[in-house]
Structure 1
Amino acid sequence: MMSFSPLRVLKTMFTATAAAGLMFAAAGAGAQNTPGVLRVSAIPDEAPTELQRKFKPLGDYLAKATGLKVEFTPVTDYAASVEGLINRKIDMVWFGGFTFVQANVRSKGQVTPLVQRAEDEKFRSVFITTNPAIQKLEDLKGKTLSFGSESSTSGHLMPRSYLLAAKINPDTDLKRVAFSGAHDATVAAVAGGKVDAGALNISVWEKLVEAKKVDPKVVRVFYTTPGYFDYNWSVRSDMSPALQKKITDAFLALNDGTPEGKQILDLQRASKFIPTKTANYGAIEAAARNAGLLK
């Protein structure tokens, strides 16, 4: 795996975004909404099969709530989710905080966040390792570390910002920085000894532990970040207000008092959904600009 400086990360991110834009343009420049269909996607922060499994019951629920056919459209990378929404190939996306900021900046404010999980008000990242010598962030100096995707809020941006706050520059103080592409891949890299440590989304970590796909006695958490705003469901601002309200109301109505509601909330690892707004992500945007990841 390759090592990245902030400048190289920035170049990689925008090259990927441009490539995604060309891909969508080739598929049909100026594509319009498909009548009767709500096209939904999500940042690929987990394996594609897992994203599909998590979305199926939610998609069925939204279809009943909106009267539309709901189609899940997987994307190859984080940049493609941003470009897909902006270029009208996708109607609604499950964004991380940073990808929402990227989409909002790229579209000049034409993206509207509708809802987030209650857990996303104070989301956290964890740093994990198998190395007994690593007990705190400062112990990472001279070691190898894997983030997730370059555009991940919880797998890169916020962990990087907390490292910088601890006066640790990942690009100069660590032996090597790698990017796994997804949270579960970060865990695999640490467990497999490819890197000394990794940073990822706490929700995915807890899910892997609960599913016994990782042994927390072998791969352990040595640092948990403070809370920050993260994931949300966003739409283009030109979506009709009536449809935005139907979607929002459907999410807000979910509760664990019904089998359907409990299944959906459990798969989304949510206690409930709550309204959100662009202003909630100001700190994420500031962190991205400070880290040189957003211009």
Structure 2
Amino acid sequence: MKHLMLTAAAMVLCAGAAQAEFTLDSRYTDADGDMIADIPTDPAQLVDPDTLIFAYTPVEDPAVYATAWSDFLTHMEKETGKKVQFFPVGNNAAQIEAMRAGRLHIAGFNTGSNPLAVACAGFRPFTIMAAKDGSFGYEMEIITYPGSGIEDVPGIKGRKMAFTSETSNSGFKAPSALLKAEFGMEAGKDFEPVFSGKHDNSILGVANKDYDAAAIANSVKTRMIDRDVVKADQFKVLYTSQTFPTTGFGVAHNLTPELQKTIENAFYNFDWEGTTLQTEFSKSGEESFIPITFKDNWAVIRQIDEANGVSYACQ
């Protein structure tokens, strides 16, 4: 895994794209210019719930991640003195809406939905999973199955290609920008696009030959291979992208400052050794939480959004 780098191709693409300026919804303020919602100064707008609701980005089977996060949530309960409940979400839109409506307090939003969560739900990300040496990230892969007859990306023309959802970076936004910029290919014109909903659905769809190709996060594929859900020899990689930041973790903006700080500290002082979290995420090389900022670490993702003309207007 590597730290984030913006390729020359991405910079050229973004430079020529229509600008989709990042702004927060009108219900939030950003007086300090860090691009995330300020904590309210009016005590009446702050919340300090007895039960904290946690949700992890909906990339795979929620039951797997309820177990994976169990030791961490027990740790969070000890640190905060509150009950912490795992909330399984079915899609990115539902996760964003839950935080916007005040029903979600701590969350991991995936790479592509992170800017929408910040803009529309007051999400304040502060950490990311990383290897012990501090490196982090994943790559978008365009995959097919052996024997598909597709030997390279242009070979997808006229075939069926799966994306996950329109809010996903590696599952839609990055590959859409890439296909247009580097290969002159557009969905609906050069190939038939379908939406699977989640990365595991796309990966399973290619493995079972339901889709000719798919754009996926390779970290998800790695974990599925390690769990014997799929086999490595069921896939042929056609393209591997630059490295992107993984899921960003943070809190709802209107939790009390003291509670936000306690939650933040709980991420950083969590001992991964021997835990359910280590069991699951060490499969993709992640064994620690390190500080990040939305302004810096998600700059490339906002640039990809600009390339795709993404709107941050909240519904």
Letter in 1 for 2:303: A
Q: 1:94 pairs with 92, 108, 122, which one?
A: 108
Deviation at 1:82? 0.7
Q: Describe the superposition over 1:21-49 as per-residue Cα deviations: whole angstroms up to 9, x where unpaired.
A: xxxxxxxxxx9957321111123211221
1:286 partnered with 2:300:
no
> Which range moved further: 153-162 or 83-92?
153-162
Deviation at 1:293? 3.1
Q: 2:138 pairs with 97, 119, 123, which one?
A: 123
- Structure 2 portions without partners, runs of 5+: 1-44
Letter in 2 for 1:193: K
Deviation at 1:277? 1.1
Aligned positions of 1:208-219 closer than 5 A: 208-219=224-235
Q: Which whole-Å CA distance do the structure 1 matches of 2:130 and 2:100 have between them?
A: 26
Letter in 2 for 1:115: T
1:190 partnered with 2:206:
yes
CA contact (8 A) 2:129 2:246 kept: no
CA contact (8 A) 1:254 1:265 kept: no
* Alpha-carbon spacing, 1:211–1:230, altered in 2? closer, same or farther (3 Å): closer
How much identity, in percent, do the aligned residues show? Answer: 25
Q: Describe the superposition over 1:208-264 as per-residue Cα deviations: whole angstroms up to 9, x where unpaired.
A: 2122222222322232211122311121222222222222222222344x323xx32
* Alpha-carbon spacing, 1:268–1:294, altered in 2? closer, same or farther (3 Å): farther
CA contact (8 A) 1:157 1:288 kept: yes
Q: Which whole-Å CA distance do the structure 1 matches of 2:47 and 2:262 have between them?
A: 17
Q: Which whole-Å CA distance do the structure 2 matches of 1:75 and 1:105 have between them?
A: 19
CA contact (8 A) 1:145 1:174 kept: no
1:19 aligns with: none
DSSP 3-state at the match of 2:112: helix
| Length-normalised TM-score, structure 1 | 0.80
Letter in 2 for 1:127: I
- Structure 1 portions without partners, runs of 5+: 1-30
1:252 partnered with 2:264:
no
Aligned positions of 1:220-239 closer than 5 A: 220-239=236-255
1:139 partnered with 2:140:
no
Letter in 2 for 1:47: D
Q: Which whole-Å CA distance do the structure 2 matches of 1:33 and 1:240 have between them?
A: 6
Letter in 2 for 1:169: M
Deviation at 1:101? 0.4
Q: 1:71 pairs with 68, 85, 96, which one?
A: 85
1:45 aligns with: 59
* Alpha-carbon spacing, 1:241–1:190, altered in 2? closer, same or farther (3 Å): same
Letter in 2 for 1:75: V
| Length-normalised TM-score, structure 2 | 0.75
**Which gives a bigger RCO, structure 1 or 2 (Cα 8 Å, sep 6+)?**
2
**Structure with higher helix content:** 1
> Which range moved further: 129-138 or 203-212?
129-138
CA contact (8 A) 1:96 1:230 kept: yes
Aligned length: 260
Give the RMSD, CA atoms, in angstroms.
Answer: 2.3
Deviation at 1:115? 0.8
2:185 aligns with: 169
Deviation at 1:134? 2.3
1:156 aligns with: 172
CA contact (8 A) 1:163 1:169 kept: yes
* Alpha-carbon spacing, 1:47–1:278, altered in 2? closer, same or farther (3 Å): same
Q: Which whole-Å CA distance do the structure 1 matches of 2:168 and 2:64 have between them?
A: 17
1:264 partnered with 2:264:
no
Q: Which whole-Å CA distance do the structure 2 matches of 1:35 and 1:105 have between them?
A: 23
Letter in 1 for 2:195: F
